[in-house]
Structure 1
Amino acid sequence: MFVAVVPPEPIKEELSEFLAPRDGMPWIDPEQWHLTLAFLAQVAQHRVDDLVEALERTAAKHESFELSLAGAGAFPDEFTAKVLWLAPAADMSRLAAGVRNACNSAGATPDGQRFVGHLTIARLKRSLDARKWLQVLDTFRSAPWLVEEVELVHSHLREGQSGRPRYETVASVALGSA
């Protein structure tokens, strides 16, 4: 499972149009695009309701905010890239910290990775020097959109197209509803 901000359809369409003429990269299906706030390797079924309640309490403390995508990066780095991503043009670290604390309080421990806000757009089978790709991707600027909720998503491994995961939204939690 994971907790994420999911871009609305017009943003997905805008990014899809930008990527369409750029062959040679295994672009991720737009239906899988999201900005992960917390990754939860395992969540016991009996913890899901508690997790949703904890996320609701936390989300209520965070106001809706405007977000756009601007800037590109790679994991682990641009010289040996295995993942290409776009960056949010707003600081999401406070929201991510709140979400991760909520997950912990509900007994759904997030991974220990440092939060780096990003939207993964390509996963590579072999690492490559991605500097030229990043120069191209860095020119993309999405229209802004209002983030009004976060989603708790269950990832069904290898059930999607080409063996990718299939995502199922378990709960959508409104921001600033306190």
Structure 2
Amino acid sequence: MRTFIAIELPQEIKDYLACLQEKLKATGADVKWVAPQNIHLTLKFLGEIDDSKLEKIVGIIGAVSEEKPRFQISISSLGAFPKIQFPRVIWVGVEQGDRETKEIAKTLEEKLQKAGIPKEERAFSSHITIGRTRSGLNTNKLAQEMNMLGKEIQVKNLGFKAERITLFKSTLTSKGPIYEILKEASLKTN
């Protein structure tokens, strides 16, 4: 089964990001937008895993959540990989909570690697993916709008408390992925 570990976002943040997506859609860029209900902050994409490894993964998530405290996350910017002028992945950045998110991702990565899950080659970057470009159509307009909206995000200073780590199953369909919660583990109370 296809799986990933993430921090879920509260509905009010998802609603705001859906409004942001609507403003970016107006540029006419060829983007596959993440369905608002599916927006999350990925800590580790596991990909296809055997059912036999599921119990071990759940145990690791539980262990990490018991040692890492809850923390505040604020979203602060709008950007793209590899860069805003040539966007492939459109994301919202994390300011407050970046260090904590990276620590959790690193700890998960280390423990999962010991359990036989391949290590991610790219360095972890705290971000929330909201879309992926399918072509270069209108990416100049998209970049301009992203620069303007990025300033709006900084002014709004939206945030939430990360309280748990979630293991999701992702089923790919013709209408987009369907996410199912397999396990939630509460972070340590401060």
Q: Does TM, normalized by the shorter one, top 0.5?
A: yes
CA distance in 2, matches of 1:126, 1:20: 18
CA distance in 1, matches of 2:126, 2:110: 17
1:98–1:6 Cα change, 3 Å? same
* Structure 1 segment 95-110 matched on structure 2, within 5 A: 95-110=104-119
Find the counterpart in structure 2 of residue 152 from structure 1: 167
Task: Indicate the structure with greater strand content.
Answer: 2
* Alignment partner of 1:167 is 2:179: yes
Residue type at the aligned position of 1:14? Y
Q: When the two structures are superposed, what TM-score results if normalisation uses the length of structure 2?
A: 0.83
Among residues 143, 151, 155, which one is paired with 2:158 in the alignment? 143
Residue type at the aligned position of 2:71? F
Among residues 128, 131, 135, which one is paired with 1:126 in the alignment? 135
| Distance apart, 1:21 and its partner CA | 4.1
Find the counterpart in structure 2 of residue 112 from structure 1: 121
1:104-159 deviations in Å (ceiling 9; x for gaps)? 233333432210111111111113345313213312245321110011111112x1
| Distance apart, 1:62 and its partner CA | 0.6
Find the counterpart in structure 1 of residue 84 from structure 2: 78
CA distance in 2, matches of 1:110, 1:52: 17
5+ unaligned residues in a row in structure 2: which ranges? none
* Structure 1 segment 3-152 matched on structure 2, within 5 A: 3-22=5-24, 23=26, 24-25=28-29, 26=31, 27-89=33-95, 90-91=97-98, 92-127=101-136, 128-129=139-140, 130-138=142-150, 139-140=152-153, 141=156, 143-152=158-167
CA distance in 1, matches of 2:143, 2:115: 41
Q: When the two structures are superposed, what TM-score results if normalisation uses the length of structure 1?
A: 0.88
CA distance in 2, matches of 1:123, 1:2: 18
Task: Indicate the structure with greater helix content.
Answer: 2
Q: Percent identity?
A: 24
Secondary structure, counterpart of 1:37 in structure 2: strand
Given that 1:86 and 1:120 are in contact with CA atoms closer than 8 Å, whether structure 2 keeps it comes out as yes
Residue type at the aligned position of 1:152? L
5+ unaligned residues in a row in structure 1: which ranges? none
